[in-house]
A and B are shown apart, each in its own frame.
Chain A
Amino acid sequence: MEGIAPQHLRALQPAAWQWFLSPENGHFALALACAFACAQCLLPALGARLREPRLARLGGGLAWSQALCLVMAFLCLGTAAVQDDFSVRSVAENSARAKPLLYKVAGLWGNHEGSLLLWLLVLALCAALLATTARRAQLPLFLQARVLAILGGISAAFGLFCLLTSSPFGRLLPPPADGAGMNPMLQDPGLAFHPPLLYLGYVGLAVPFAFAVAGLMEKRVTPRWGGWMKPWVLASWGFLTCGITLGSWWSYYVLGWGGYWFWDPVENASLIPWLSSTALVHSTIAVEKRDVLKSWSLLLAIASFSFSLAGTFLVRSGILNSVHAFASDPARGVFLLLILGVISGGALALFAWRAPQFPAEPGFPLLTREGALVLNNILLCTLCAIVLVGTLYPPFVQLLFSRTLSVGKPFFDSTTIPVFLLLLLLLGIVCALGWRYTKPASVLRALRLPALLGCLAFPLALIWLAAFPPALCAALAVWVLGATALALLRRWQVNRRAGRAHRSLPASQWAMALAHMGVAVSVLGMCGMSAARHDIVELPVGGSVSFAGRCWKLAAVSPVQGPNYRAERAMLQVSRPTCPTNAGKPFLRLTPERRFFPLQDQTLAQVALHITPLGDLYAVLGPSRLLATRHGKQLVWVLRLHDNPLAVWIWAGGLFMALGAVVALLGRSRRPAVAARGEG
């Protein structure tokens, strides 16, 4: 020990807070949270069963205790990650000293163990929030107890899964000097926030699920039940929309292939619950407003959460063959399948038993908003089934017939587009429909102008896109935009003429208009992208090429040193006239990079992107090579250039949809009395 001064030894001793936030304490907090979850599953349920209010009231406290424990566990894991504690296995496998701080934090959920902890934390926070807002929402005590008990059960199952198969706090001995680092592709702000947003959506769907199961247990589903569930449905749908939008945006500008949706099984795993929860949003509205579509809502709530669980299972068990890298482990798969069987299988069995006992609902004419909601549900569920079949077909064919095959874009394009066209048609019609009864003549009158707009848009789109299905899509999108905007205008005029005190439209109107226009905007973006052009060119420094009506000149290629990579950065000057004249001044400089990450021995393209409302210019730098020419050898660079019309509309539309959910939520919270009306 000679040679080590006492002050050095003191430096080795952790500070009090470091001890407090040690991985062992995190592990303990996780176990404690699991115990609280078990109690939250049992005690309030028992209270509701025995009609014992004191027991039933325990749910809220237990939910908060569980949430606090998980916050603690998450802080412990965060401390280990930020302090580069490579004796923690999950940190050593996914982090490195040279990683920027943002990605040390984002790396927490960039792997199986950490993302599971985040999953648990979000679920516990949802339960705690539910318990806190229950009084204001006038949620009956025993219903609240049942909902919390179901959420506790889900928490307990996943807590056990985390503790038994994938603890994020496992130690590694001896600790490595540096971590293995993170997949450089994931080191991007977009992807840092993509998983938490998706999880907020996935996990938020647990609350409608719990409401559905509790409703089945109580054999009572009322419009107020729909009102209690609706904010949770809206919020999780909004988060899911944001998460998917961000993920698609990330794949567009990080992966460098210039597309936005690949129909990859992992992408589909998030699309399936999105489609079913979109249907759920609509049928919940029908339950709240008109006391219809109750069985549908129950089934959709169960299905949406089951799909999000199934997605978790499929992605982590290794069953799906995807380009997305996930550590897969059959043992984890077995555990997850058991959880899925108990939670979803149990809920579906309860549905099969109880749903037929609900009294039959009154019928309604098709030409009403209720009728449109039924059609919408059918179409969305059809889409959902198509995506599900396309995703599960390859593994099932392999299981049954031992043949490998892939189902890709051609299948999904040819099957989903017709259904989607019908959905767009319906989106326009629904604007002219009212609840209960609508005069056919008034529908026709209201839809004349949008139909005219759509008919005018079709030939224009056909000329521009030179392809039939996208042009039809674009025309229908214009029809939806026109119908929605006109319906808003008409409502406003009616309000003004009546001289009502509340001249402004209700938030639900704005929300619906925003969400539906968002769909149309996204569709227009996709139509534009169907006309995207790209070209691969080889240019020496100083060379130029004409592409998409512009002249692209490779001005320079220079080396760059990043925090954990080396890069070659190209300077592309883009000018308006085509190349032979080459007189125009460059209006744009693009700097695509080719980054090399030595730790992972991986080369990645950093896309250069110029975004305008009318279209994106997009450039990817490839490798260089020596080309033999008449004047000797010449170094040329491979470049891929894209011209993507209306690309940004795809994601703008996604944001509009999510904004619709936000407006609907805010509009509700300002008028809490609305939820309380008209039901005994």
Chain B
Amino acid sequence: MRGPLGRRHLLALLPVLAFLLLGSGFWRMLHGLHNGQFDPHAVMTPQLGKDVPSFPALAGIPLSGTPTVQGAGTGIDTGIDAAALQGQTGPVLVNFMASWCIPCVAEMSQLKAISQVLPVWGIAYKDRVPRVAAFVRRNGQPYARLATDPDGRAAVEWGVTGVPESFLVMPGGQILWHGTSALDEATFRREILPLLMQARKEGRW
């Protein structure tokens, strides 16, 4: 191939073209970083005050032999999706957890206490179903619903950066509170309870 645009010329041009494409993409990203339009760390932005994000519907985790929480209504293994959260008549605490996470163990007793006054919906982040089931069997079962997010897609939509993280979701789907560490009694009394009281006073549920 001796011509001006032979096969070898075209092949040799490919790397340059790929480089130009990538380079212009990087250039636009830098531009966006500069004026705030592009933020790869956007998953870390707080979700406060926003509606629950649209996330893929999550399959429930069947828990054989564990008693369901009182007043849970539908079964624990119904699964979780955005519509189900928006359709609730009362506030819900959404709790991202994993069986391999040490602080998740630590917050279980508080979650059990919370589940007496507020339904807790658990989402198992990047975990295997049998492990989650064993975890709940071992540490107690505070969840009204428990679903699995095997590849962490839902967690990304929610802006979760690690486990455990919890969100207080109001009826209609507004996120009122977001906590990024293990829940304890002080946090619940100081941060979540006043919000619930306030919302009650405003007649939101």
Q: Tell me the A residues contacting B by CB distance below 8 Å.
A: 295, 299, 302-303, 306, 310, 313, 317-321, 330, 333-334, 337, 340-341, 344-345, 348-349, 351-353, 355-356, 392, 394-396, 398-399, 404-406, 408, 410, 534, 536, 538, 620, 622-623, 625, 627, 638, 640
Nearest residue, chain A, Cβ from B8: A356
Does the CB pair A355–B40 fall under 8 Å? no
Nearest residue, chain A, Cβ from B1: A356
Contacts of A299 in B (CB 8 A): 15
Contacts of A352 in B (CB 8 A): 9, 12-13, 15-16
- Determine how close the nearest CB of chain B comes to the CB of A294; give it in whole angstroms: 12
Contacts of B157 in A (CB 8 A): 404
Does the CB pair B15–A303 fall under 8 Å? yes
Report if B46 contacts A (CB, 8 A): no
Nearest residue, chain A, Cβ from B7: A356
Does the CB pair A536–B102 fall under 8 Å? yes
Interface residues of B in 1-60 (CB under 8 A from A): 1, 6, 8-9, 12-13, 15-16, 19-20, 22-23, 25-30, 32-34, 38, 40-43
Nearest residue, chain A, Cβ from B34: A330
Does the CB pair A404–B156 fall under 8 Å? yes
Does the CB pair B40–A340 fall under 8 Å? no
Task: Please name 11 further chain A to chain B contacts, defined as beta carbons within 8 Å, in addition to the given A330-B34, A394-B40, A399-B28, sorted by A numbering.
Answer: A295-B12, A341-B23, A345-B19, A348-B16, A352-B15, A352-B16, A355-B8, A396-B25, A399-B25, A406-B156, A622-B105
Given the interface pairs A321-B41, A340-B23, A356-B8, the reply to whether A410 lies near B105 with Cβ below 8 Å is no
- Determine how close the nearest CB of chain A comes to the CB of B60; give it in whole angstroms: 21
Q: Tell me the B residues contacting A by CB distance below 8 Å.
A: 1, 6, 8-9, 12-13, 15-16, 19-20, 22-23, 25-30, 32-34, 38, 40-43, 99-100, 102-103, 105-106, 109, 126, 135, 151-153, 156-157
- Determine how close the nearest CB of chain B comes to the CB of A626; give it in whole angstroms: 9
A404 to B152, CA, bound (A): 12
Given the interface pairs A341-B23, A392-B22, the reply to whether A404 lies near B33 with Cβ below 8 Å is no
A320 to B102, CA, bound (A): 28
Does the CB pair A344–B19 fall under 8 Å? yes
A28 to B15, CA, bound (A): 39
A351 to B8, CA, bound (A): 11
28 contacts between A and B (CB under 8 A): A295-B12, A299-B15, A303-B15, A317-B33, A318-B33, A318-B41, A319-B29, A319-B30, A321-B40, A337-B27, A340-B23, A341-B23, A344-B19, A345-B19, A351-B12, A352-B9, A356-B1, A356-B12, A398-B38, A398-B42, A399-B32, A404-B43, A406-B153, A408-B152, A410-B151, A622-B106, A623-B106, A638-B106
Nearest residue, chain B, Cβ from A256: B102
Nearest residue, chain B, Cβ from A257: B100
- Determine how close the nearest CB of chain A comes to the CB of B21; give it in whole angstroms: 10
Given the interface pairs A622-B102, A638-B106, the reply to whether A345 lies near B16 with Cβ below 8 Å is yes
A337 to B152, CA, bound (A): 32
Contacts of B152 in A (CB 8 A): 406, 408
Nearest residue, chain A, Cβ from B13: A352
Does the CB pair A404–B26 fall under 8 Å? no
Does the CB pair A399–B38 fall under 8 Å? yes
A623 to B164, CA, bound (A): 14
Contacts of B9 in A (CB 8 A): 352, 356
In-complex Cβ contact of B99 among A344, A394, A536 (8 A): A536
Does the CB pair B40–A395 fall under 8 Å? yes
A317 to B29, CA, bound (A): 10
Does the CB pair A638–B105 fall under 8 Å? yes
Contacts of B16 in A (CB 8 A): 345, 348-349, 351-352
Does the CB pair A534–B100 fall under 8 Å? yes
Given the interface pairs A337-B27, A356-B12, A538-B105, the reply to whether A408 lies near B42 with Cβ below 8 Å is no
Contacts of A295 in B (CB 8 A): 12
A191 to B106, CA, bound (A): 31
A63 to B16, CA, bound (A): 30
- Determine how close the nearest CB of chain A comes to the CB of B136; give it in whole angstroms: 13
- Determine how close the nearest CB of chain A comes to the CB of B15; give it in whole angstroms: 5
Does the CB pair A399–B106 fall under 8 Å? no
Contacts of B13 in A (CB 8 A): 352
Does the CB pair A333–B30 fall under 8 Å? yes
- Determine how close the nearest CB of chain B comes to the CB of A60; give it in whole angstroms: 32
Contacts of A638 in B (CB 8 A): 102, 105-106
Does the CB pair B15–A348 fall under 8 Å? yes
A394 to B25, CA, bound (A): 12
A406 to B157, CA, bound (A): 10
- The 4 residue pairs across chains A and B that have the minimum distance between CB atoms: A622-B102, A356-B8, A321-B40, A330-B33
